[in-house]
Amino acid sequence: MTDGFPLTRRFPDSSAIERAAYNPGTESLDIWYAGGNQYSYYGVPPAAYQRLLAAPSAGEYVNRQIKPNYPHRRRAARSFRRR
């Protein structure tokens, strides 16, 4: 991974997660949920993002490994929905 450059990944097979963007320079992980909400998680090490990418279920991984272990902040929800 390139330090300081956000890396984005879409999750077309997930019913919960639409996409994620990771910035290894700041160790921040932004997640866009299928319902339209966006959350930023802080202090997420690169290995945790790599495990998210490899997880059989992105939603389950986030619920079990990201949400309970890293501070987060809700961002403004977007006004459109994925088709």
Structural domains of the chain, count = 1
Residue 11 lies in a domain: yes
CA 73 to chain centre: 12
pLDDT in tens, 4-53: 556 999 999 999 999 999 999 999 999 999 999 999 999 999 999 999 99
Residue 12 lies in a domain: yes
Question: Which residues does residue 17 pair with via DSSP β-bridges, in sequence order?
Answer: 33
Residue 80 lies in a domain: no
Single out the residue of 16, 9, 23, 24 nearest to residue 67, CA to CA.
Answer: 16
Q: What is the pLDDT of residue 76?
A: 76
Report strand pairing: 28-33 vs 38-42: antiparallel
pLDDT in tens, 39-79: 999 999 999 999 999 999 999 999 999 999 999 999 976 65
Residue whose token pair is 């339209």: 36
Domain hosting residue 34, numbered range: 7-75
